[in-house]
Structures are given as C-alpha cells and as structure tokens.
Structure 1
Amino acid sequence: MKKYVAIGIIFFFLIVLLTGCARRGRPDGGPKDEDAPIMMLAKPVNLTTNFKEKEIKIYFDEYIKLKDLQKQLIISPPLKYAPVIKPLGTPSKYISIKILDTLKENTTYTFNFGQSVIDNTEGNILNNFKYVFSTGDIIDSLKVSGTIKDAFSNEVDKDITVMLYEVNDSFTDSIIYNEKPLYVGSTLDSTAWEITNIKSGKYLLLALKDASKNYKFNPKEDKIGFYKEYITIPTDSSYTISIFREELPFQLKRPSEAAKGHLLFGYEGVGDSLKVQPFSVSEKFESFTNFEKNKDTLNFWYKNAEKDSIQFYAINNQYRDTLTVKLRTKILDSLQIKSSVRGVLPLRDAFKLSGNIPIESIDTAKIDFIDKDSSAVAHSFSISKDKDEIVLDFVKKYDQKYSLVFFPEAITDFFGNVNDTLTYRFTTKRPTDYGNVYLTLQKVKSYPLIVQLITERGKLVEEVYAEHQQEYVFKNLVPDKYLIRVIYDNNKNRKWDTGNFLLRKQPEEVIYFNTVLEVRANWEMTETFMLE
C-alpha cells in the first residue's frame, strides 16, 4: 500500500513540474514588428540604364500591400497610358509593374510610391520608396524643391501637383492645357515638394490642384500657381508657389425658373455688370433684379407677364446676347422672413431681417418696438438697395432687453404678399462683455491696403481700407479668436484680385499676422504687425 502511495506522490510532482515548465515556455507573440519592408531585389535592378523592358518586378523581405496607390504614386515623366500595377488589395512579396506606354528616348523615369507601400501585418510604411531607370546611358540626378501656399487663404490644399515643362523651341504657353509635363512631384499631405532625377535645362515651374488627375490645367476646376520667371536647373534656390483660382471668361448659363415670377440667370466669370432687359412685354409688366449673395447668379423678379415666354437682351461689358425663357411654373413662393440675431445683439452689429422675395414696403404703424420696461424705443427702418434686407436703426442701450413685433401686413413684398405676426426678442450686453484690438502696421511697401479682421473660420468681421499710415481700431469684439489679413490693393479697386497664367499676372499679395488674437471680455490688445 505504501508503495502505491509513494508512486502516486511521485507522479503528482512530475505533473506539477511538467506543467510549470510548459507555462514558463509558453510563447507571448514576441515584440511588435515596427520595421518597414525592405526591398531585396528588383528586376531589372533599380537605377538601370538603357532600359527596354515591359515589366518590372520589385521583391521585398515580407508580405506588403499597396495603400491609396492612385493618390500616392507619382510617375515622372507622366505616362500616356497608366501602367498595370499589382498587388491591389491582396498581400504579396513583390510589386509587378507592366508598362503599356512607349517610353521616351534618353529619359530618366521615376516611380515614387510615396507612402503607399506598407507591410501586411502592422502597416509599417516604406516612406517615399522610388524605383528609377533611364532609357539612355545615364541617370539624371538633379533636383528642385520648394513649398506651396494659397494666394488668399491661410489654409493650403493638400495633394498639390508640381510640374516642370521644358522650355525649348516647341514650347508655347498653351502646353499646360494640352500636354503633360516632363517632370512632376507632389506635396501629398504637406506643403513641401521635391522633384528629383531631372536633367539640366530651362523650365516652366507650375503647380496645380489637379481635380481630374490628368496633369493638364482646366481653369473651370483646377487651382493654379506658377513661378513668374523660367527657372534654370541645376539650382540651389528653393521656390515658393502661390496657388489660386483664375477668373473664368464671362459666360451666361441657361436661365432657370425658381418659382412663378422668379428666374435665375447663372453665369461664370465676372458678372458684376450683368443686366438682363426684357423686350416685347406689355405696359403692365414689372420687374426687379438683384444678385444672389455668395453665388454667381442674377435674380430676375417679374409680374404681370401676359405671354408664356419672355425675351431678353443680356449685357455684361462687351458681352451681348439675346435669349428666350419659357414660363412653366404656376406657383408663387410665399414670403419668408429671417432674423440675423439669435438672443443677443452684439453692440457692433445691426438688427437685420432678410427676405426670400424683394421687400417692397414697410408699414411702421404696424410695428411695435419696446424695451424691458415696456417703453417705446425710438427707431427707424430702411430697405437695402437690393431689397433683400430690412435694417433696424436705433440707439442701443447696454444690458437691455427688447421686443420687436411686426403685426400682420407690416411687410409687403414685390408680389403683394404680406407677413403674419412676427415677434423677435433680443438683448444687449455691457461694453465690459467685449474686447478691443488696436493694431499698427510697420514696413508697409505701398498703399492702399485692405486690412481685414476675420474669425479663425474665415468669416469677415470688419474691413478697413487704408490709403496712408494709421492706427486700426476694432472695438466691441465678441470674445473669440481672430486673425488679421492684409491685402496690397495694387490696382486700387478695393478688392482682392486673383492671378492669370496667360497674362503672367500673379495674385495681389496677401499677408496674415502670424499671431492668433485671443480677444477676452473687458480686455484691450495692442499689436504691431510687421509686413515682411
């Protein structure tokens, strides 16, 4: 019996010992792989000269995937026919590139994969992986680099394509509309760019926000930037390019009906002087036009049309056209009124009402405006030139509550529609609830200037047109973060003007103050802006 007990005890300890050993030897997966894939072999080898192959295979030390290849891959010079590249969506230990194009003689080609090559397990990125070859005897090795900025905005678009066109005997300015460049690069997610493996020569340096990804400039959808002079490579210079959207040549679009009595004349280009004049209409026919805010559209309002169509003369500077609009819609829009104020009326703002139909008249006898003590408030109303706003003028009192009531038929629009009862309640605050900014500019190159105070989101708060040195005072500002934008108004037309490639005209210079102004309540800020 003792013998069996002893054997049992020994057997138990053996099990415990083996279990402990098994636990100590249990794998935990090892350290996390943080290494990018490594190219092991390429056929033909990287930097091959006298290249004549139709397929390239690039082998790696582990399984890889291609991520966002369409966005990341830059082939320079661009190919007419896109190569077939694998793998797409499935892991592989190699990249296959099948070339479908006829390659140029004595040219260095670069396949820059950007950040598209990643390992299959952890997604580690092989940054800026390139495969380079030449169809000639040498690999071109020169390069050029620089940065991109937006000509007007403080924010810069991502994925800007930078291009070089060789300036030779066949070069013309129209080449950017019709042909692909000789060399290309990209900013991807930054503002910096670099083009490598370039041969020496003279070039046009161009940048596009290339919406169609076809390496050709389409003014209707692309932003453009260019260096004013041709550049010569080799160079040690770094180039900053400002991108902008060109103004399109004026073109009137096909008119459309928004509602009965309301036509829309959309257009491209500058339409500030656009006029549409009806003809062959009855004596009772009445009309009014205004421009849609923030849209390239002219509103044409009409009533008492006796025919099912209207003929127009359209005039805009040198533009002339005649057109006919068929009238099909039978339903008038109803009058809608919106207030510019929600709760609090800032001391620097006016109380405004906007209408979706031109405002024809206001009956002040049907309006009641009182303060928190139910005392009548002296006031007046005006209708804007475009008849789309009603502006209330009164002396604001601090820390006050107001009630404004428009009784029925107080407001009449172009068609004779009237309002139902409209009630607006709002308050004002004290001056100590706001902040003030005092700004001085130094190292100004020339006048006039347009000095703008904007929010971080780009909304214009106040604008000052300056023709000489002065202090800029922005008072009663709602506590928030603000930016200062300065525009050199070279042509003195009181607005920012964009550029034009064919005219070799750069946009008017815009400079942002590099400090965000954090305005606080009951606080004054004094700032000096060096325009360098």
Structure 2
Amino acid sequence: MKRLFFLVFISLLLTSCARVGSPVGGAKDSIPPKVTGSNIDSPRVNVPRDIKELRIDFDEYITLKDINKQLIISPPLKQITKMLPSGMANKFLLIKWADTLKENTTYNFNFGNAIVDNNEGNPLGYYNFAFSTGSKIDSLYISGELKTIFNDKDKKTEEENLVVGLYQEKDSMDYRQKPYYITKADTDGYFELNYLAPGNYQLLAFEDSNSNSVYDSGKEKVGFLKDKITLDKSISGLKINLYPSKKPLKYMEMKEVPGGVLMTFEGQPDEVKIISLNEKLKDYKVTHLPKSDSAMIWFNATEQNVGITSNENLKFSYDNGVKKDSVSLFYRYNTKNEMSVSNNRGNLLAPQQDFVITSNYFVDKIQPEKWSLVSDSIKQDFTAEVSEKNPFEIHIKSNFKEGKKYALTIPKETLSSFYETIKKTYRFEFEADKTENFGDLLLTLENAPEHKFWIQLINESGAVTYSKYGTEKQINFKSLKPGKYELRILVDENENGLWDPADFAKDIFAEPVYIFDKKIEVRPLWEIRETWDLLKENGKDALKETTKEVEKPKSINAKEPLIIASPK
C-alpha cells in the first residue's frame, strides 16, 4: 500500500513539474514591447555632445531582428561600437558610439521593425527615438510615396529595400556618403522623414539592396527631384518613381560560345570596335547591335586551327567609345557546337502572325526557294526573310488559314551563318489557331506625346509581349492572347529609335514613361475599347522628376542598323 501511494505521489509531482513554463490554452500574446524609460529623459533637449550611448528600457525581454538593415540614424553616426541585445534577449537596448555629437542638432534613431518581444516576436513597429543637442527638437517632416516602375519579377518584396535620403545642399555634394537624413519606406512604399531642420536639401530615393545606406550607381534603382527642396515648412504627398539607374560603360567578360567568342559589356555601348591580336585568327567577323550589351566575334576554328588540340590564348583589342583596351581568354573549340534552328513560340500560330524560327547562330544567308511549306499535302506559297530587328530570327509569311495544319521543311545547307551552315534537314509542324481563341484591344490616346513613342503590353510575368512604335493616336492590337496586361508608353523625345534612360550623376532625366492606371483583361472573341488621357494620368509630374531606365524591348532597336565588321 505504501509502495502504491509513493508511486502516485511521484507521478503527481512529475506532472506538476512538467507544466511549469509550458502553459496550455489562452490567447496568443500579440502585444508589442513597451518602452519604460531611457538614459536620455524628456524633453530630450540640451543633451551633452559627449554622450556616447543610448539606452532604452522595456517592460519585457526583447531581441533585435535584422537590426543592421532596420536601424537608420539621422544624421548618421560613423562609429557604432556596441549594440545590445546581441544573441540573448534582454530588457533593455543599448547602442554605443565613438562620435562626438554635432551642436544644435536633432538626432533620430529609426528602428523600423527591429525591436521584437522575445516570446512571440511582436514588433514595436517603426519606433523612433529623437533627442537634440540644442534647445529644441526639430519638428519638420517630409512624407510621400515611392513606387518602383518596371519591377523585377524575381524579387519577392522589392519595396522592403527602398529608402529616402536628404543631402544638405553644398557647393560639392558627395552622394557616395550616407545622406544627412535617411528613412526606410514601408512595404506599401510610404515614407516619412521626421525631425528635420530648416534648410536647403537635395532628395534622393533609392533601392538600398546591400543595406549600406548609400546609393550605388548603376546597381540600384533610383529616383530624385531635379530642384532642391527649401524646407521651411513640412511637406507631404510627394510621389517619386524609381527606375534602374544608368550603368557605367565598361567591359565585363569574354567566353566561348557556339560560333566563336562572346564579349559582354555593362552600360550598353553605341558601338564596339574589336580587332583580333592573334597570328592564327585572321578571318573573322564582328556583330554588334547599337545599345546592345554584347558583341560577337565569329570565326571558323577548325579551318584556322584555333583551340582545336589544346587551350589557346586569344587576345583582342576593343574600343567601346569610352575606353580602349586589350583582353584575352583561353579558348578551346567545343566539338559539340553546331548551327541549329528551332521553333520557340509553340505549335499554335496566332491569326495574322508570321511563323518564326530561331537560330543559335547569326543568320547570314537563307535559300527559301529550296524550302517547302505544305498543308494537306498541297504546297503553299510563302516568303521568308531574316528579321531586321533580330538577325537570329527568320520570319515565314503565308496566307495561313485558321484551323489548318502546316509543315515547313528546311533542307540541310540552305540556311547559313558566316562560317557555318545547318548540317541536317529540319521539319516544323504547326497549326494556324482560330480567331475565336483571341481578343482585340482598340486603344485611343488623348493628349498623346508629340514625339514618337512605344506603346507596349506587358504580360503578368513582366515580359513585353506586344509593342508598336510610331505616332498613331488610335492603336489596334489584334489577336491578343487572353490574359491580363499592363499598358505603358515609352516616349522617344529625341527620336533616335531608342528609349534613353536617366543619368543621376549628370543630373540628366530620362525620356517620359506613362503607365495606364488599370490592368487590361483580354478575353476570347472580345474587342476591348479603352481611352487613355495622358494629361489626367496620376504621377505624370512625378515621372518627370525621377530617373528612368528599363530593359529595352526588342522593338526599341527596330530602327538601328546592324554593324557587321570584318578585318581590313
């Protein structure tokens, strides 16, 4: 009996101990930590300039989440020497620095969402702590909204990295330094710059992708105002759009590719001149599309015995209009390389469209008179030509009938590049799709741009699927695939056949861009009619006050000549 009583007692004791620290049931804690005090008390003015730390106490244990990315101090402190908690939770936050504070200056510590409670991770949202070394805390503010045009579809939440900074206007401003005031936009793009002093400033917004609080030209999206801000009262409602920044022009790399060597650049040079510096390599051709980031050096490696039995050090000189230099690579001919053609657009051909085949080599010559197009065993009339926009594409035109099946045969050696030809016969089977599977869009523009422009439809994956260039005020998009599209206009103000981006370093603004304020939903057998008044577009003025750059669609190069160079 005593033994049974002892076992029951031990069981109850273990059960009681097991419950400690593991409460069951009840509402989940959703209350963020509360500030209970600080070493810099109210009214937080006339703070000694030699103070070297900020301590903030809380009512519960806290941890810091992504503090290096979240915390923004304005004006910036260069030498942060210590920050707690680090690793383990604590009931206070401590920041130490080595800098001597500036006189009559308001300092603002913007913690974003970095301060969270230790149990549930509830953030103390967008917490600010401000104090002044002068007799008052500056109280002016600037607020507004940031928006990234031409979003990168592979980024999940790009807006998380967007920041806005103010630089004090001086005779020489160094944008490679942190802004005097800086803040982070929230996930909706809204921002506030608080505790600002009166004065003249330059505003710069950018995507701080590496979290260094400094704008990295050519690597991060950017938006700026052309005119200075004279801050004598608070400003609200600013709308700033951010675009990829102009990349500096420079050489990137060379690599072996089918048909020769590919040389790539950053900054999209107007023209590239390339000369072989090799004794063996005398017969070659260079192709480069103006404003393209790559140039191709074509040659026959086997005939010139280049890199056949071992790696060969090939040297080339280049002139990209900004820099002249020589570069080299160890080249080895890949015996698996061969010229080929393929159908990359699927086996259903949209109404009133060309059938397009794509080559992996630059297409120099075709012999369509030796090709055949057949439907129901009957030969069809057709024409074929190399695309002026893309010399890697061949367009086949014919009176394609809806619902009919076709077969295009391209015999071997009837399509060639400079030093190569297709070694086998290709046969492509496809069907002309029915009009009932597509929709139309009739767009009328009011207050359209005075200069030529591109009107574009962008699908949900971010690709430009339809594009037209000209000055038409009424544009009819025929045979559109069902789906949702974004509608935009890129203006070619200088009518050079290219959309020119902005250059922040030179204070040069980009050519205008317009984004339609709603999605276009295309349905089968529907004709959608839309009227777009560009003067009423929200954000038109803001677009003029920001830099803009976008990956150029293929149609942008439609008017540019192709440069084909041969050694003299």
Is 1:473 aligned to residue 476 of structure 2?
A: yes
8 Å contact kept, 2:269–2:292: no
**Residue in structure 2 matched with residue 297 of structure 1 by the alignment:** 294
Cα displacement (A) at 1:215: 3.0
Is 1:75 aligned to residue 87 of structure 2?
A: no
**Residue 494 of structure 1: SS of its match in structure 2?**
coil
Mapped partners of 2:24, 2:319: distance in 1? 79
Alignment of 1:121-520 (within 5 A): 121-150=119-148, 157-168=159-170, 171-173=171-173, 175-177=174-176, 179-238=177-236, 239-258=238-257, 262-278=260-276, 285-291=282-288, 296-303=293-300, 304-305=303-304, 312=316, 314-317=318-321, 319=322, 321=324, 323=326, 325=328, 328-332=331-335, 333-364=337-368, 367-371=371-375, 373-384=376-387, 387-444=391-448, 446-467=450-471, 470-520=473-523
8 Å contact kept, 1:47–1:132: no
CA spacing shift, 1:377–1:88, aligned 2, 3 Å? farther
CA spacing shift, 1:141–1:336, aligned 2, 3 Å? same
8 Å contact kept, 1:412–1:419: no
Mapped partners of 2:369, 2:466: distance in 1? 34
Mapped partners of 1:44, 1:67: distance in 2? 23
Mapped partners of 1:82, 1:463: distance in 2? 52
8 Å contact kept, 1:64–1:91: yes
Mapped partners of 1:518, 1:438: distance in 2? 13
Q: Which moved more, 1:391-400 or 1:352-361?
A: 352-361
CA spacing shift, 1:291–1:251, aligned 2, 3 Å? same
8 Å contact kept, 1:366–1:408: no
CA spacing shift, 1:475–1:265, aligned 2, 3 Å? same
Mapped partners of 1:88, 1:338: distance in 2? 57
Mapped partners of 2:329, 2:66: distance in 1? 48
Mapped partners of 1:233, 1:198: distance in 2? 9
Mapped partners of 1:82, 1:349: distance in 2? 63
CA spacing shift, 1:488–1:46, aligned 2, 3 Å? farther
**TM-score, normalised to structure 2's length?**
0.79
**Residue in structure 2 matched with residue 18 of structure 1 by the alignment:** none
8 Å contact kept, 2:366–2:416: yes
8 Å contact kept, 1:341–1:426: no
The letter of the residue matching 2:168 is E
Q: Which has the higher contact order (CA 8 A, sep 6+)?
A: 2
Match of 1:97 among 81, 95, 98: 95
Mapped partners of 1:32, 1:153: distance in 2? 37
Mapped partners of 2:361, 2:57: distance in 1? 67
The letter of the residue matching 1:276 is I
The letter of the residue matching 1:321 is K
Q: Write the deviation string for residues 436-491 of structure 1: whole angstroms up to 9, x where unpaired.
A: 11111123363333322222333223323343x62111011111111210223322
Percent of paired sites with the same residue: 30
CA spacing shift, 1:84–1:406, aligned 2, 3 Å? same
Mapped partners of 1:253, 1:187: distance in 2? 33
The letter of the residue matching 2:35 is M
Cα displacement (A) at 1:335: 2.5
Find the structure with the greater CA-based Rg.
1
Number of residues of Structure 1 aligned to a counterpart in Structure 2: 497
Cα displacement (A) at 1:162: 0.8
Match of 2:52 among 42, 51, 54: 54
**Residue in structure 2 matched with residue 107 of structure 1 by the alignment:** 105
Cα displacement (A) at 1:312: 4.7
Mapped partners of 2:292, 2:493: distance in 1? 26
Mapped partners of 1:114, 1:322: distance in 2? 47
**Residue 176 of structure 1: SS of its match in structure 2?**
coil
Cα displacement (A) at 1:501: 2.2
Mapped partners of 2:152, 2:313: distance in 1? 47
Q: Write the deviation string for residues 197-241 of structure 1: whole angstroms up to 9, x where unpaired.
A: 111111111112223333333323222221111101233433222
Cα displacement (A) at 1:364: 4.5
CA spacing shift, 1:393–1:312, aligned 2, 3 Å? same
Cα displacement (A) at 1:410: 4.3
Q: Write the deviation string for residues 16-49 of structure 1: whole angstroms up to 9, x where unpaired.
A: xxxxxxxxxxx96433322221111112326523
Mapped partners of 2:325, 2:31: distance in 1? 68
Mapped partners of 2:264, 2:270: distance in 1? 12
Q: Write the deviation string for residues 372-413 of structure 1: whole angstroms up to 9, x where unpaired.
A: x22222223223456422222222111111223334444444
The letter of the residue matching 2:331 is R
CA spacing shift, 1:46–1:349, aligned 2, 3 Å? farther
Mapped partners of 1:41, 1:348: distance in 2? 73
Question: How large is the RMSD of aligned CA atoms in angstroms?
Answer: 2.9
Cα displacement (A) at 1:493: 2.3
Structure 1 unaligned segments of length 5 or more: list them: 1-26
Mapped partners of 1:112, 1:329: distance in 2? 55
Q: Which moved more, 1:430-439 or 1:97-106?
A: 97-106
**Residue in structure 1 matched with residue 118 of structure 2 by the alignment:** 120
Q: Which moved more, 1:214-223 or 1:522-531?
A: 214-223
The letter of the residue matching 1:172 is S
Q: Write the deviation string for residues 135-181 of structure 1: whole angstroms up to 9, x where unpaired.
A: 3332222111112123555987432121111124xx314x112x222
8 Å contact kept, 1:452–1:485: yes
Mapped partners of 2:239, 2:332: distance in 1? 53
Q: Write the deviation string for residues 53-103 of structure 1: whole angstroms up to 9, x where unpaired.
A: 323221111222222222221111122123522223432222122223333
Cα displacement (A) at 1:298: 0.7
8 Å contact kept, 1:56–1:97: yes
The letter of the residue matching 2:428 is Y
Q: Write the deviation string for residues 110-154 of structure 1: whole angstroms up to 9, x where unpaired.
A: 111111222222332211112222233322221111121235559
CA spacing shift, 1:125–1:212, aligned 2, 3 Å? closer
Mapped partners of 1:227, 1:164: distance in 2? 11
8 Å contact kept, 1:309–1:324: no
**TM-score, normalised to structure 1's length?**
0.84
Structure 2 unaligned segments of length 5 or more: list them: 1-22, 307-311, 537-568
Cα displacement (A) at 1:277: 3.5
Cα displacement (A) at 1:348: 4.3
